Amino acid sequence: MIQQTMNTAEEWRISCTVLDKGKPPRPFKTLPPGATLDFVSSDPSIARVVVEPSGLSAVIHSDDVGTATITVTPGGTWANLPPDTAEVTIVNAEPGSLNLTGSAPSPEGDE
């Protein structure tokens, strides 16, 4: 499992490397016919996953503060491979502004 901390103004790209059984092993550059990788966030309201066209990578968007687990599950002809996970913690970005608010006026002494 990999772990990453990022702030609410960032995104994070994750990629899967799948090696063949050749000598030496070589990475797949694209998903072969019949193979799938399913990228899922345990909490999309915190970390939203957008899979890239290659199907081998995704961009994690920091939508809210908290922690989420991203699970990548192989399927189809790759269903025999175990899933892998990444944990991402989203923290607040640096302060950008201060906004002062107030209630409606009321007579003195009313609390």
What's the pLDDT tens digit per position in 83-100?
A: 999 999 999 988 878 888
pTM strictly above 0.85:
no
What per-residue confidence (pLDDT) applies to 109? 78
| Angstrom distance (rounded) from CA 71 to CA 68 | 10
CA 42 vs. chain centroid, Å, equals 9
| Full set of structural domains in the chain with CATH | 2-17+31-91 (2.60.40.10)
Place of tokens 């996970």: 85
Name the percent of the chain lying above pLDDT 90: 80
